[in-house]
A and B are shown apart, each in its own frame.
Chain A
Amino acid sequence: MQHLRWLMREWRGGELALLLVSLVLAVTIVSGIAGFADRLQRGIVGESNKFLAADLVLQSPREVPQDWLASAAQLDLETARVVEFRSMIAAQESMQLASVKAVSDQYPLKGMLRISDQPFTLSYETRAKPAVGEAWLDARLFPLLKVGIGDSVRLGDRQLLVSKALVSEPDRGSTFAGMGPRVLINTADVAASGVVRAGSLVDYRYLFAGEDASLTAFQNSLAGSLDASHQWQRLKDSQPQISQTLERAERFLLLAGSFGVALAGVAVALAARRYSQRHLDAVAVMKAFGATSGRILRLYVGNILLLAVGAAIAGWALGMALQSALFTLIQDLVGFRAPAASWAPIIAGSVTAFICVFAFALPPVLRLRDVAPLRVLRRDIGNEGLSVMVSAVSGIVGLSVLMLWYTQSLELVAAVLLGVVAILGLAGVLVLRVFSSIRRLASRVGGVTRLALSAMYRRRHANAFQVVSLALAMMVLLCLIAMRSSLLSDWQVQLPADTPNHFLINIAPDEVPAVKAWLDEHDVEFAGLYPMVRGRLVKIDGRELAEIPNVDENRGSVNREINLSWSENLPSDNGLVEGQWWAADETRNLVSIEQEFADRLKVSIGSKLEFLIGGLPLTAEVSSIRSLRWDSMRPNFYLLFAPGVLADYPSSSITSFYLEPGNKVILNELLTRIPTVTLIEMDAVIAQARSVIAQVSAALELVLLLILSAALLVGAANIQSSLDSRLHENAVLRTLGASRQVIARGLVAEFALIGAVSGLLASAGAELSLYLLQTLVLDMTASWHPLFWVLAPVSGAVLVALSGWWFCRAVVTTPPLYVLRQL
């Protein structure tokens, strides 16, 4: 009761505003950014899971036992079933090999189907599925089969009514088994068609969606029952590119958020410092009038805790408003509806409020307990300020706890903290050094300048504190700016505009000229036609593959048929890592192997690899090791042979090319001309990947903007907090006869010095943190930022001097008597 009354008084008296504002800022940032990042991330993951049409997919060559699915239902997972196989589809006048996809009623669990009412007309999204007895055909199939909407086609023994033209399904790109023009039917029609028999090549896909934890529990529950033929797909496996993009973006958001928390923490520390500084006299007076230490402690700690509760509530409300505002802002950009806000931000907000209070606000306030009552007679007692060390240690501990709890990533926190500690260490040495030399300088000049300089020296601890907090804010900004640009440029490099978006495979040797002709005819740029022979690697240096330890079989490729190719020249986007590329007239059996593949098989230059190709053995010697870009969307091969080695084996060719969206009609011509080639359309997948990247980039920019404003606030709080003592000292100087100009120059010089030193420290801290972040957290190559070392000190000096001048106008222009009387 008494606390509340006291709090109300202080509130009215304006003493609490700055502290409350910083606490509210901290909570707002956390609940706002945490909430925003959380929702955005869930939204983007949800969006990306459309690539799977689910959160999790179990792929199997057979139907799986019913009780497996029952356990999914127990875990509250939604399920759907997809059966894929290739089959002839027949119409009145012609037949066509098609890739049939039968889907259950729940399909798709994520994403939407895109269809049109007539082939090659305007398409729209739908949640509808083909009803029993209906078939939706790829637009391309209409001319090939010479059918229209309302006609019927035959699949095995089943007549199906053609009711829609299918444009895309969300999970179209997720399996390469989906080759050839697509026919979408209902699972109920599969049995009746009679085309799926024991031994047919069928791909069963079981789709699941639900909570992350339940999905993992489900995966674990089946771990014992699965064999090598079953495969799980989660976003990570099916779309490494997108999942990496997301992972980095998520880390970045977390990082930005925790930087935001750090900044807010610094703001709280500054405000609490100012608060307690301003209360030193009040406490001394109260003690003189008989208040005990315990009473002072209860009063102020009570105040602060009450304040924390208020800040938690207000900050949470503001944070919610902030994140929904952010979402409204980017709704159009991201193109998906925000998932509902969760409770997480409320908890995050309250925890933040209390950690901020304990780590940042309490130490300076606790000091009030020990204020000597004698201060009422001698103002200089207990004026030395809270030691920077105590603030630093409790601040760092609080910061670590907050960031650890918030990011759950030890590496991330360690990287940032090392930067922070570097700043503190350097600050200790540098700042005190600089200000000591100022004192020496002071002894050499005379008059008012000397007074100003020695005032600077006297404020060295406060200045050191100011430098540290400014440097932290700047370091955070530098880190974020650097990471943002390297992330963005990384992503842009990944998917340049002309990334091949179509693959042609199964090109028979005698069809190669026709394909080439078609490509040339339409001026399509392509990645070269690569011959492809299917073969199996059986022995390495005479040892059976099975005998070689640690050959990770689950990763496929090794123990299966793999694609072998040959080339006269090193493909343009490959890099030679070891060994030598062969000459054009090479006659030995040489093979070039991909780097990671070689590592996995423990193969080096000179190793002898034995293959079985169409039942015939072939031995080749490894002559070079190559690096590849798997994300280049070009045909890539683990194993490339010298020309001629594979010439006698049956081969087919593969190529990839880029086709503009408006140009897709020409595919019909190709498929009519050469019906047996298989076309894989990746354009939808690539477009989706691009939009994910665009969304993430937009989000990053926004968060960066938020953090920037937090940093500016810290700067403002920082300068303001140093105002009281400056106000007083400058008033004294002016009564002593210093001209406004002298005082103004002194102020600007001091602030510029503080800004420059902060910028320098920030560059050092940012460089260290960035190095650690890039190597440990983001899996990127580290880079140095020489520009920082120039820009940060210069802009720091200019900005701090300017804003210092702005805030301190009052010091210089108000009559000294007025200031003296107020203090």
Chain B
Amino acid sequence: MIRAKQVSKRVRVADAELSILKGSDLEIKSGESVAIIGPSGSGKSTLLGLLAGLDDVSDGDIWLCGEHLNALDEDQRAELRARHVGFVFQSFQLLPGLTALENVMMPLELRGDKKAASTAAEFLERVGLAHRLDHYPRQLSGGEQQRVALARAFAAKPSILFADEPTGNLDAATGTSINDLLFTMNRESGTTLVLVTHEPNLAKRCDRRITLAAGEIVGDDRINGTAD
């Protein structure tokens, strides 16, 4: 599903060049759920962005869903994402001008799905927000917003879902319920999951934990059978 070979990322800061990610290799199989953990600033989000094709690598190669990302331009990568990729973000990132329903419809419409509205409504029902379809993000609590975001991520039936600290902005109780929902939906749809997190509990629920430190992969453990 995902393959990364000697991937590194460097950025220019002021006059110096900063190496955020140093020659990492990685392979993630279809249906796997992977947690990326590590201290703050270790390069987790950077890695996630590269794997999802949101950014260009400085060195190395990445394949996503069988496509060689290096060979694709920005727009081709966008089309690839439209077909295969979903996201959940720490800060929810719902479009403020759209209702809950329209937010969930957005990725479906990008694919040209004719039944976007009914599919979106169905997924909002699955996250328990059937009665809030016409509410704007500003009218929803953080937990509710993240549930809309989950519906949006799964509605387009992506083959792979990237989540960057999906509960980082929520209190513990709400976070737990969002996590439950995330894993339930993930299991039901058989999506590949790449999850960046700080929380050991959350990481434990994944099939596999990749540990980053100072831009390098320092650990890769499989925890068979612990997920649920």
- 8 Å CB contact of B87 from A9, A292, A372, A376: A376
Q: A288–B81 contact, CB under 8 A?
A: yes
Cβ of A15 under 8 Å from chain B: yes
| Complex Cα–Cα for A292 and B111 (A) | 11
Chain B: CB-nearest residue to A11: B97
For residue B175, which residues in chain A have a CB less than 8 angstroms away from its CB?
Answer: none
A732 to chain B, nearest CB (A): 14
Cβ of A558 under 8 Å from chain B: no
Q: A15–B97 contact, CB under 8 A?
A: yes
With A372-B55, A373-B78, A377-B164 already in contact, the answer to whether A13 and B96 are too (CB < 8 A) is yes
Tell which of B44-52, B57-65, B176-184, B213-221 binds the partner: B44-52
For residue A822, which residues in chain B have a CB less than 8 angstroms away from its CB?
Answer: 138
Task: Give 1 or 0 for each of B89-133: 1 = CB within 8 Å of chain A CB.
Answer: 101010111110010001101110000000000000000000000
| Complex Cα–Cα for A374 and B79 (A) | 15
Q: B96–A290 contact, CB under 8 A?
A: no
Q: A289–B75 contact, CB under 8 A?
A: no
Q: B164–A289 contact, CB under 8 A?
A: no
With A372-B55, A376-B89 already in contact, the answer to whether A290 and B98 are too (CB < 8 A) is no
For residue A12, which residues in chain B have a CB less than 8 angstroms away from its CB?
Answer: 99
For residue A278, which residues in chain B have a CB less than 8 angstroms away from its CB?
Answer: 96
- 8 Å CB contact of A286 from B55, B80, B106: B106
Q: B97–A291 contact, CB under 8 A?
A: no
Cβ of B74 under 8 Å from chain A: yes
B109 to chain A, nearest CB (A): 8
| Complex Cα–Cα for A258 and B122 (A) | 54
Task: Give 1 or 0 for each of A806-823: 1 = CB within 8 Å of chain B CB.
Answer: 000000000000000110
With A10-B97, A13-B97 already in contact, the answer to whether A293 and B75 are too (CB < 8 A) is yes
Q: A288–B54 contact, CB under 8 A?
A: yes
With A9-B102, A293-B75 already in contact, the answer to whether A377 and B54 are too (CB < 8 A) is yes
Cβ of A282 under 8 Å from chain B: yes
For residue A14, which residues in chain B have a CB less than 8 angstroms away from its CB?
Answer: 97
A376 to chain B, nearest CB (A): 6
| Complex Cα–Cα for A60 and B110 (A) | 79
Q: B93–A281 contact, CB under 8 A?
A: yes
Cβ of B157 under 8 Å from chain A: no
Chain A: CB-nearest residue to B102: A9
A370 to chain B, nearest CB (A): 10
Q: B75–A374 contact, CB under 8 A?
A: no
Cβ of B4 under 8 Å from chain A: no
Task: Give 1 or 0 for each of A270-286: 1 = CB within 8 Å of chain B CB.
Answer: 00000000100110111
Q: A291–B87 contact, CB under 8 A?
A: no
Chain A: CB-nearest residue to B52: A288
- 8 Å CB contact of A292 from B48, B49, B79, B102: B79
| Complex Cα–Cα for A13 and B138 (A) | 10
Most buried by A among B52, B97, B107, B111: B97
A29 to chain B, nearest CB (A): 27
Q: B82–A374 contact, CB under 8 A?
A: no
A312 to chain B, nearest CB (A): 23
| Complex Cα–Cα for A292 and B136 (A) | 25
For residue A13, which residues in chain B have a CB less than 8 angstroms away from its CB?
Answer: 96-99, 136
B132 to chain A, nearest CB (A): 15
Q: B55–A9 contact, CB under 8 A?
A: no
Cβ of B7 under 8 Å from chain A: no
Cβ of B83 under 8 Å from chain A: yes
Q: A290–B82 contact, CB under 8 A?
A: yes
Cβ of A287 under 8 Å from chain B: yes
Q: B78–A287 contact, CB under 8 A?
A: yes
Task: Give 1 or 0 for each of B20-64: 1 = CB within 8 Å of chain A CB.
Answer: 000000000000000000000000010011001011000000000
Q: B96–A282 contact, CB under 8 A?
A: yes
- 8 Å CB contact of B85 from A285, A286, A290: A290
For residue A372, which residues in chain B have a CB less than 8 angstroms away from its CB?
Answer: 54-55
With A287-B78, A292-B79 already in contact, the answer to whether A9 and B54 are too (CB < 8 A) is no
| Complex Cα–Cα for A822 and B91 (A) | 10
Task: Enumerate A1-41 residues with CB–CB distance to B below 8 Å.
Answer: 2, 9-10, 12-15
Cβ of A522 under 8 Å from chain B: no
For residue A821, which residues in chain B have a CB less than 8 angstroms away from its CB?
Answer: 142
With A289-B106, A290-B111 already in contact, the answer to whether A9 and B78 are too (CB < 8 A) is no
Cβ of A197 under 8 Å from chain B: no
Cβ of B166 under 8 Å from chain A: no
Q: B86–A289 contact, CB under 8 A?
A: yes
With A377-B45, A822-B138 already in contact, the answer to whether A289 and B107 are too (CB < 8 A) is yes
Q: A9–B83 contact, CB under 8 A?
A: no
B194 to chain A, nearest CB (A): 13
For residue A10, which residues in chain B have a CB less than 8 angstroms away from its CB?
Answer: 97-98
- 8 Å CB contact of A290 from B49, B83, B91, B97: B83
With A281-B93, A377-B89 already in contact, the answer to whether A290 and B78 are too (CB < 8 A) is yes
Task: Enumerate A269-327 residues with CB–CB distance to B below 8 Å.
Answer: 278, 281-282, 284-295
Cβ of A664 under 8 Å from chain B: no
Q: Could you pull out 12 A-B pairs where Cβ atoms are within 8 angstroms?
A: A9-B98, A9-B102, A281-B93, A281-B95, A288-B54, A288-B87, A289-B81, A289-B110, A289-B152, A289-B156, A292-B78, A376-B89
Which 7 A-B pairs have CB atoms at the shortest separation, nearest pair first?
A290-B82, A13-B97, A15-B97, A292-B75, A290-B81, A289-B107, A282-B95
